[in-house]
Amino acid sequence: MTYSAQFIDTPPARAELDAMAGAVLVEFGTPWCGHCRALQPVLAAALAAYPAVCHLKVEDGPGRRLGRSFRVKLWPTLVFLRDGQLVAELVRPGDEAEIRAALAQIDP
């Protein structure tokens, strides 16, 4: 799976993410967030080099438990998991190199 432009309809439970094998990038944000929209081309370019990474785009906000379980406070927040374990987290990443460095940690 590569870059996903659409938010998923039903986000997984935290237990499901913790049980996922392999490299997973969870992107927390909203469709109306300017920072989130500005990140999309940069994120797509970074993910192009990592086709094995599962990218899950999760809409966050009040009452959304998954984001709270990762202590998300600002959007976009990128959570990088390897075999269900948190490896890295980027809050409002600055550039593609920063994202690629985190992706390299979960998909060497």
Among residues 24, 26, 36, 88, the one annotated as catalytic is 36
Strands 23-29 and 77-82: antiparallel
CA distance readout (Å), 27 to 49, 77, 106, 107: 17, 6, 15, 16
- Phi, psi for residue 20 in degrees, rounded to 5: -70, 135
Among residues 14, 20, 30, 33, the one annotated as catalytic is 33
To which H or E segment does residue 86 belong?
Answer: strand 85-91
Based on the residue annotation, tell me whether 54 is a catalytic residue of this protein: no
Based on the residue annotation, tell me whether 36 is a catalytic residue of this protein: yes
Supply the residues annotated as catalytic. 33, 36
